[in-house]
Amino acid sequence: MVQKRWIRHTTLATVLVLPVITAGCGLFSQQTSKTIDPPPSQVEETEGDPTGQVSPDGQADGSSLTVYLQDRNGYLAPISIPVTYGENEQPGQKAMELMVEGGTYAAELPEDFRALIPQGTQILSYEYDKEQRIAKVDFSEPFVSYNAADERDMVEAITWTLTAMSGVEGVELYVEGQLLTEMPEAGYPIDGQLTRSIGINIEAADGVNIANSSPVTLYFSAETLSDEQYYVPVTRLISRSDSPALAAMDELIAGPLNKKELNSVILPDVEVSSIEQKDGVVIVDLEDAAYEPGHQLPAEMLQAVVLSLTETTGDDEVQIRVNGESNLVDSDNKSYSEPVGRPHHVNALKS
């Protein structure tokens, strides 16, 4: 039995814990679980206007923000960090401040992770255009002083952090009031606004013609030096498919290309018997000979399916069936009998 300790991640109602993985068993075999204590002072994100504005009445207990940081292997990962807000302070601006290397909140970041916005950068302004659903961030001059090798990761980290917030679909970057049309060091082009279509942690499947490829975004796992597990999203370029949802599941089951730093979240003996998209819901039927009706299903593995399918397809929810059964319960006693949406936060690490 291979035992792995997982970082807790939060939804609006639950804290999920990855169960122990038993080598050679099917994905949905009954497992035992091992939990870890949550980070101190961790609470849920305050809901409200898409601008992320937090009212003074909701500030006493703070909240959590998810920002994208670079891990020790060079991968970007979403990290949920407890924060408190000042009066009229917006989560978008707070998130950018958290992502400044050596900045005010450097001590709040977990070990093994690095902020990518250049040291000394100040967030001059943050504005949310509700009509266009765009976040506009104006940085101070030090923003343009970075290693060219970090350029794409920095763009991806900012874009994925802000578009994770309610209502934000695109991002515009400014420096001292001037709109950036390309990044200054390596010349990464910015054609209008940045969206999640730029991908994250991009890789190409073996033998794929990049010019004739399409992307799927998959969620695998990695671990810190203290053996805490966390999700890593990877945008994989694959041969074009008539069904991105099926392609995403096939690639998720196939596992990571970089097996040294990333781990599979689903075992290869699981098969997809059917998959369809209907009214904003991806309906996936899985076959697993080892699954017995009534057994609880590993929560984190199911969340990887939900995260990967919603990210790849743009649909809001996923309905999972196993061996034709839809009345499913995971190892946190969460019901999957109805379609399930994405969690609001993933990877709540201890700093």
pLDDT in tens, 189-209: 998 899 999 999 999 998 898
Q: pLDDT band for position 99 (50/70/90)?
A: very high
Does residue 60 carry a pLDDT above 70? no
Q: Considering only CA atoms, which of 288, 232, 290 is closest in space to residue 264?
A: 232
* pLDDT number for residue 297: 83
* pLDDT number for residue 351: 59
Bridge partners (DSSP) listed for residue 284: 275, 320
pLDDT in tens, 130-144: 999 999 999 999 999
* pLDDT number for residue 107: 92
Predicted structure pTM score: 0.82
How many residues are there in the chain?
351
Does residue 86 carry a pLDDT above 90? no
| Under 8 Å between Cβ of 164 and 346 | no
pLDDT in tens, 305-338: 999 999 999 999 999 999 999 889 888 888 999 9
| Under 8 Å between Cβ of 131 and 167 | no
**In a 10 Å sphere around its CB, with 0-12 CB exposed, 13-18 middle and 19+ buried, how is residue 125 labelled?**
exposed
* pLDDT number for residue 332: 83
Bridge partners (DSSP) listed for residue 70: 76, 114
pLDDT in tens, 261-305: 999 988 788 999 999 999 999 999 999 988 888 888 887 788 899
Q: pLDDT band for position 8 (50/70/90)?
A: very low
Of 266 and 17, the one with more pLDDT: 266
Q: pLDDT band for position 340 (50/70/90)?
A: very high
